[in-house]
Structure formats: structure tokens, C-alpha cells
Copies of this chain bind each other. A is one copy, B any other.
Amino acid sequence: MSTPTHYTALVIGAGIAGLKACNELHANGIDSVICIESRDRIGGRLHAEQGRNGKYEVGAAWHHDTLSNGLFLEELSLPAEERADFVFDDEDATCLVDKNSGIVNVDQLDTLRHEFERWVEMKYYQSLGVKDLPYFDLCIEFCYQKRDLLTNDQLFHLPQLLRYMELWHGVDWYGLSGKFSGIEHNGRNALVFSYDKIVSRIAKPIKDKIHLNESVSLVKKLPNGGFQVQSDKGNYTCDYCIVTVPQSVLTFSCKDPEPSAKTAARIQFDPPLNSAITEALTEKSSFGSLGKVIFEFDKVKWSTKCGRFLTAHEQPQDFVETVRNSDDLHHLLSTMREKLPRSNDDSWKNPTYIVNLAKRTGIPTFVALTQQPLTEYLETLSKEEVEQFYRPVINKLLHSLDAQDYICDLQDKIPDSDSEAPVLKNIITTKWSSDPFALGAYSACKPGDDPMDLVIALSAGQGNLRFAGEHTIMDGAGCAYGAWESGKREAKYILDKVFTR
């Protein structure tokens, strides 16, 4: 075996965390850097796909927390032509679409959503040791506790609205931690067009440091405190190693799984990752599957009065009566679990968050966000199957936007016409959950998880073995800018060490 090439820092993964780390190291005088990426492209879970009507972010798509988002603020400081376009797309109230009644117009429903969030916060943060419960349980408990203070309409539609949180976390209400369901927003959210402009900007000064199509299989600690890193293409040594693979991939690295397509990206650590990291990864953290289904139409033939929607799960018709008549919360919870089983049967069984891109960009496209476990199912379907699955919801949405049922033309056989009905031309479905380099979307909390444990363990690192990515940071957890900040953080760690020793 030839002598391994030596680098000061070796970065595994060319997502925004790895790229930012490399970029910072390079910009601050450390030129001996390499970034190894398994995919044939940079960007990781920031990725735009070309469709018929435009390019779509199939991964992260928003600048969140724009009051404190460092990446967003950096973008703002650039000349306009160098930054990625964005548009704030918050609406003052969530537009809920019900299978039967269409757009739901119930007094104080959004106020009640805020009250619920506050109630959850008070439940978990005014005293310690309160047991975490599935988000579902909290939604039903709140309805039960407050039923005398809610109108029938509020009681019926509130659980539908509360489920919008599933599309923040990428996990349905049975799988989502109630305790960690709340999200503090530091300012508005902006849709980004598109993140690849940002990724390219960060990668530009270091493009000759990036090795694509190369997979690391082993990170072995050396007696001198550095590492030997082995890939399918080479053998390296380094003083510092930054691991930026997704939490999902890292979790496999703690186990000794049967080799399979799912574990293809596994990295062996020698010695194994320490117990703080291993326990946090395997026992205290989870990974969600936010998926997207993109519906491309021929022309905008619907109203742009509202830019985003939550299509609601179908409520049992006796929901209100059942809650009002119950005298036992535990019994009510099991009744409701039976009445509202997890189901991939039809698109009215789960809430879907739908962005009306026509309002934001004029493009005749809807982008639907889906949650685990539905996402895993949808990502196995053909376009035709997805179309059949979503037809009822999309048509209801079109009606709510003063349009007709769409005409399906996924084979693109119908010539451009002036038909009044929207013509569905194409569907794009994400594939993150079966992608061995992603295995889902981003970090999430199931009931009983504690995200702090993992963040503390990974941001502490293991000597000069460092970790970056959206799962290694609290401020910006799960977000592109969190990953970016964590890359900065790890570069700083190395720079401090290198220049003060």
C-alpha cells in the first residue's frame, strides 16, 4: 500500500456543513484540506431538481429564523446578484382545507393553536420530569381539558390544525415527541431560489479540495492523535477529521448491521464512537422523513389568494360528541387512536402542507410536504400511483382556489390548450428515505428523545474527531443555517488548535 497522503484536516461530506468548514479553514490559512463526498455532487440535502416549470428545492427550501439566521444575514450582506433570491412566504393565518367543508373559517382557530403551544410549553417547562408523550396524546388531551371552552367548530377543527407541526418535523403525530414539538421562530421564513447558488458560492474557493464519488469506510485513530482515513479510492492521514454525514448514517456507524443497500454509507470508527455519542444516537434521537411531492401544471388556473395550505386529516364525524361525552382521558386516547389509525389508504388520512408556488413565483406548481411514515410509502410509488393517491386532495384544493378538477396528462400527450381546467403535466417525488446517503430528511424527536444529549456529545467531539451538521447544534437544529454554523464552529476549533499550539 502506498504512503497515505497527509492533510491537516479531512472533511467527510460536502453538504453545507462540510463545505463551510473547508471554506473557513482555507480562508484562514489552512490549505492542507480535503473534502470527501460519496455523491456525484456537492450540497447533500440541499439540492434542486429541474422540473418542467422550473427548478425545485427537494431538500431544505427555506431560510428559517431570519432575525438570527447567520447564513441569511451573510446573504443579505452580498451584492444582490451574488445572493440566492428569496421571498418571505409566511401567511398571517394557516389556511386549513377540510375534505368536506373546504377552506375552514372558524373564529380564533389560530389563536387556539398558539394557546395550545403555550399549554405544551407550560406543561413541560414549568416543572421537571413530566413524561414526554406523543404529540397525538397532547392534541387530544388539550381538546379534552378545554372542551367546555371550545365551540363545536373549534373542537372539530383544532386537531386538524395542530397537525401542521408534523410538516415542520417530518414525523406524524404518533411518532412526534410532544415535549419537543414546539418551535421558537426568530423571525419570518423565506423560500429560497435556490440553495445551490449558496452552496456553489461556499464551494467556489475550495473546489479543488473536493473529491466526489468517493466513499469513506474507515476512520482509525493513530497513536499521534491524528487519523487514518480509508476510502474506496484512497488512503489518507490527517490531524483533524470532521464527520458531517447525516445523523441517520452516523447512527448506523454505531451498530454492526448486516450490510445492505441502507447501510452502504456506513463508516467504521476505530475505536468506536464513545458511549455518550453512541447512546445519544441510538437511544435519545431520531430521524424524520419530510418528503416532497411536486405537482407541475400547464398554467396557473387557480387563485393566488392564499400561498400555503394545510389539507386536513379527515376527522371522525362523531369526534366532538366523543370528546364531550368522555369522562376518561385514557379511554378517549385509545378510542381516538382506533378511529384515527395511521394509514396510507388515501390522501385525506394525513395532513399535507401545500405551497401554492403560483403566489410566490407565478409558476403553475404545488409543492406538497409529507411526513413519516407516509413519506416512505409515497417515495416507493410511481408518478401514476402518486397522482391517484393525491387526486382527491389536489382537486379539493383547486376547488378552494376557485378552479376546476385538473386533467391528468403525466405522459404530456395533450397539446397546450385553452382548457379552463388545470392540466397536470408532471409529478416529482423526493427519494430521501431510500437514499443511502440521507436515509430520511433531518433530525427529529420521537417521544422520550432528548436532542440536547446528542448535540452536547457531538459538539464536544472525540478529541480531534469532530462532528458537524444540522444534528450537532441547537440554534438552527434541522436547518441549513444550523449545519452551516456547525461547520464554522468546527473550523474554528481546528484553527484555534493549529494556530495556538
A interface list, Cβ under 8 A from B: 66-68, 76, 88, 90-93, 107-112, 114-115, 118-119, 122, 148-149, 185-188
Contacts and interface: CB of A to CB of B under 8 A. Distances in A.
B108 A90 contact: yes
A110 B122 contact: no
Contact of A118 (B91, B92, B187): B187
B91 A107 contact: yes
Given A91-B107, A149-B88, A112 B67 contact: no
Contact of A115 (B93, B112, B149, B188): B188
A119 B111 CA distance: 21
B122 A107 contact: no
Contacts of A76: 148
Contacts of A68: 122
Contacts of A188: 108, 111-112, 115
Nearest to A151: B88
Given A122-B186, A188-B108, A188-B112, A92 B93 contact: yes
29 contacts: A66-B149, A67-B115, A67-B119, A68-B122, A76-B148, A88-B108, A88-B149, A90-B108, A90-B111, A91-B107, A91-B108, A91-B111, A92-B92, A92-B93, A92-B107, A92-B108, A92-B109, A92-B111, A93-B93, A93-B110, A111-B188, A112-B188, A114-B185, A115-B187, A115-B188, A118-B185, A118-B186, A118-B187, A122-B186
Contacts of A67: 115, 118-119, 122
Nearest to A123: B67
Contacts of A107: 91-92
Contacts of A186: 118, 122
Contacts of A88: 108, 149
A119 B115 CA distance: 21
Nearest to A65: B118
Contacts of A111: 90-92, 188
A175 B289 CA distance: 50
Nearest to A89: B108
Given A92-B93, A92-B107, A93-B110, 20 more contacts: A66-B149, A67-B115, A68-B122, A76-B148, A88-B149, A91-B107, A91-B108, A92-B92, A92-B108, A92-B111, A93-B93, A108-B188, A111-B188, A112-B188, A114-B185, A115-B187, A115-B188, A118-B185, A118-B186, A122-B186
